[in-house]
Amino acid sequence: MPKKQKDETPNVNAIPNRDIVQRLNFLYQASVYLQSIPVISGENTAEKGSADHTLVDQEHKAMSNKKRRKREHKNTSDLARTCIQTMKAVSQKATVKIDPSVKRSICSKCNTTLVLGSSANVRVKKSSAHRHVLVYTCLSCKTQRRLPAPPLPDASPSDKSSLDASENDKLPVPLAARRDAGHVAFCGNKQVEETPHGSGTCFI
């Protein structure tokens, strides 16, 4: 068997633990999808029958209700939380770091994926340490997470263009662009008087 050469250049596109990163990505995307699905209550889908049921039908329903009560009803948000718990466990066992932006989009208390508008609220508040703070509120456990907001630009591009236009009006026109500036010719250190323009003929 030939030995592997030590001077081989490493592959630039090679990602260590690619399969684990793909699994983490899948679990995060699945939790976001499951969190965004609205919960359908069982009351809307219940049967609406007539009032005159036989005794056998009533006993059958009572038995099935007892079985239903024993079972825990899991909805899609619980499944989404389970996906996040699995994602954290996989990343911890494989020692793969989760991106900080992904960590910020997960509730640290209940592992809910913070989807703006459906499972989380975001507010911008003033702060003494930072100018502004983003306050993420999880709607399932009411936990708040405060993150420093990125700095706001001083002025929008449209405001800057209007400011530049007003500044250009205030600045004096350069000498080369002035029509009344005239022309001054020097010969050494002496100023030479300007001669009138020629007639346009040229001698060779």
Q: What is the pLDDT of residue 18?
A: 86
pLDDT tens-place values along the chain, 204 residues long: 566 666 667 676 777 788 899 999 999 999 999 988 877 665 444 444 444 445 556 666 666 666 665 566 678 888 999 999 999 999 999 988 888 889 989 998 999 998 888 888 999 998 888 888 999 999 989 999 998 888 767 655 555 555 555 555 667 766 666 666 666 677 777 877 766 665 555 555
CA dihedral 89, 90, 93, 95 (to 10 degrees): -110
Q: What is the pLDDT of residue 11?
A: 73
Helix (H) or strand (E) holding 56: helix 55-70
Q: What is the pLDDT of residue 56?
A: 55
* Residue extents of the structural domains in the chain: 18-37+74-148
Alpha-carbon distance 79 to 75, whole Å? Answer: 7
Say how far residue 2 (Cα) sits from the centre of its chain. Answer: 49
Q: What is the pLDDT of residue 49?
A: 45
Helix (H) or strand (E) holding 54: none
Q: What is the pLDDT of residue 203?
A: 56
Q: What is the pLDDT of residue 43?
A: 47
Q: In b/e form, how buried is each residue of 137-149, taking b as 16+ CB within 10 angstroms?
A: bbebeebebeeeb
